[in-house]
Structure 1
Amino acid sequence: MTTPYEQPGYGAVPQPHPRGVPVLILGIVGLVICFPCGIIAVVLGNGALKEIDANPGAYTNRGMVNAGRILGIIAIVIWVIGLIARFALSHGN
């Protein structure tokens, strides 16, 4: 029996995707410290987003996964630009 303020349940309660927090942490670490973490964040984030999109009612943290993936992409771009700039400056003379 439900109270007047509860919705009756019709299935499993959506849970956060288990890779949500790790993807976000890897995206942040990739941005700040370590280039390979950005790559891992993108790969894991893409896989997690595919799983979330395949079953949208099962997971609640699509935004967190997407944020970690985007941070990973930004980390990759920044590291590549930094490597290009370093190479150009060291071979410019």
Structure 2
Amino acid sequence: MSYPDYGQGPYGPVPQSHPNGTTILVLGILSLVVCTFIGPFAWSMGNKALREIDGSGYFYENRGHVQAGRICGIISSAMLILTLGLVAIGLLFGLLSALSDI
């Protein structure tokens, strides 16, 4: 008895989609447009998904979505760090000026 080969189509392996590909892309885009605080999540999930894709040996049709979401997460994380740094410097200068007036 032979079993059907579900992994092969008439022209080679059937492309798969990573289950978190769309989620990572949406999180990456939203981190740039709406809230930079979700950027590190897109970056982290994108790294994990790319490791899974590379380790599987299969062709994933949404690898570009995962990469784009990861890159958006990296950019958003850099903007978040820059913003928090500027806020910290502003608070430090404000505190120093308040203390110098005493």
- Normalised by the length of structure 2, the TM-score is 0.72
Which has the greater radius of gyration?
Answer: 2
> Which segment is superposed worse, 53-62 or 43-52?
53-62
Provide the aligned length of Structure 1 versus Structure 2.
86
Residues 14-67 of structure 1 deviation map (CA, whole Å, 9 limit, x = unaligned): 122111111011011112222331111111111110111112424112111011
Q: Residues 40 and 30 of structure 1: is their aligned pair in 2 closer, same or farther, counting only changes over 3 Å?
A: same
- Map residues 1-93 of structure 1 onto 2, 5 A cutoff: 8-11=10-13, 13-92=14-93, 93=97
Task: Give SS of 2:41's match.
Answer: helix
Superposition RMSD in Å:
1.9
Unpaired runs of 5+ residues, structure 2, are 1-8, 98-102
How far did 1:79 drift?
0.8
Q: Distance in 2 between matches of 1:91 and 1:54?
A: 46
How far did 1:71 drift?
0.6
Q: Distance in 1 between matches of 2:53 and 2:34?
A: 28
Task: Give SS of 1:14's match.
Answer: coil
Question: Post-superposition, which runs of at least 4 consecutive aligned residues in structure 1 deviate over 4 A?
Answer: none
Unpaired runs of 5+ residues, structure 1, are 1-6
